[in-house]
Structure 1
C-alpha cells in the first residue's frame, strides 16, 4: 500500500465542521510523511446526465473528443483513488444520508470496467489493496441506527469498487452530547491502527 492519502471533504461548511476537524486529526495520525491529495466537495460536483452515461457506455476506442471531455473529471477522480493507499472521507449526515456532493462523487467514480466489473458470481471491485477511513458526524442521527443511510451506504459502495478495509470514526448525535461525542471521536482517532 502506498504512503499517499486522498482526502475527500463532503461538508458544505469549511469552518466549524466536525467532519473536517476529524479528517485533520486522522491525517495527522497517519503521519507527516504521507503525501496528501485534497478533494474538497464543498463547491459541488456535476451530476451525471444523459451525455455522461452515453460517453461512459461507449467503448473507449470509439469515444468522440466530446465524450472523452465529458468523462475527464470522472477519469481524474478515479486516478486520485488509484494513486492513493488510504482514502480519508470526512462527511456529515444530511437528512439521514450523505451530502449530495458525495453521492455525485460516488456516481462519477463507480464505473463498470474501470473501478468494478461484473462476473458470473457478481460484481468485483477493481481498486483493491487500499484502506478507507470515514469520519462521519451527525447532529441527531446515531450511526448504525435504522435511520442512518450514510455509513452503511459508504461501506457498501467502497467495497463495491474493491475497498474492503474501511474504518469509521464517528461523532454522531452532537446535538445531544457534543462534549462526550467529540471526546469519543478523538479517542477513536487515537486508536486507529497505523501501518508500520
Structure 2
C-alpha cells in the first residue's frame, strides 16, 4: 500500500467523532505501511463547490471546446479523480447530518462522478471505471440507525461507490453518541475493536 487517501467532512474538523475514527484507522494502516504517502482532503475546511448548472455544463463540454472557465472546472475535477485513482486505499469519515451525508461530501461525489471518466453506460447498464480498492467508511451518528430504514447513508454510499467500481467497502459505525456517556463510551469501544479487526 503506497498511497492512502483520507477524506473527512466533519464541521467540527479534527475534533469530530468521525474524524477521530479516521485518525485511529489511519494510524493502524500507517503502522503497517510506514512508507505509504498520505493525502488528506478535509472537505469542511476546503469544501468542493456545490454542483450548479455552470459546473455541470463544464462537465458536458469535456468532449468539445470548453471555455476557459469550463476548462478550470474540468481541471479541478480531474485533479480530484486523479487523487482518488492514485490511492491504494481510502479512509472516509462520514458524520450523519439530518439523516444524510454532509453536503460537502455530496459535492465531492458530484465532481468525481464523470461519465466516460469514472463510469460509463453500456447496453448492460452502468459500469464503474475505477480500479477497486479498500474503502473504510467511519460513520459517526448521534442516534442508532444501522440496520433501520432511517439509515440512508449506508445504501447510498454502497450504491455510489459501487457505481464507480469501488465495491470493497467496509463500514465502521459509532452510534448513539448523543445518548449518554455510557452509550457513547460503548459505541467508541466497539468501533475501535472493529477498526482493529479490519486493519489487522
**Which of the five TM-score ranges fits, normalised by the shorter chain?**
over 0.9
Do the aligned residues in 1 keep the contact of 2:10 with 2:44 (CA within 8 Å)? yes
| Per-residue deviation, 1:169 | 1.0
Say how many residue pairs are matched: 193
Question: How many Å separate the matches in 2 of 1:192 and 1:117?
Answer: 31
User: How far is 1:66 from its partner?
Assistant: 2.2
1:170 corresponds to: 173
Unaligned runs of 5+ in 1: none
Under a length normalisation based on structure 1, what TM-score does the superposition of the two structures give?
Answer: 0.93
TM superposition outliers: structure 1 runs of 4+ over 4 Å: none
Shift of 1:148: 1.1
Partner of 2:197: 191
1:60-75 map, 5 Å: 60-75=63-78
Match of 1:138 among 132, 138, 141: 141
Instruction: Render the CA deviation track for 1:120-173: whole Å, top value 9, x for unaligned.
Output: 011011112311000000001422321011121111111111100000111012
Alpha-carbon distance in 2 for matches of 1:179, 1:88:
22
Contact 1:51 1:70 in 2 (8 A): no
Question: 1:114 deviation in Å?
Answer: 0.7
RMSD of the alignment, in Å? 1.4
* Cα distance in 2 for residues equivalent to 1:179 and 1:142: 17
* 1:103 is the counterpart of 2:106: yes
- In terms of fraction of residues, the more helix-rich structure is 2
Q: The residue matched to 1:98 in structure 2 has which SS?
A: coil
Are the counterparts in 2 of residues 23 and 88 from structure 1 also a CA contact under 8 Å? Answer: yes
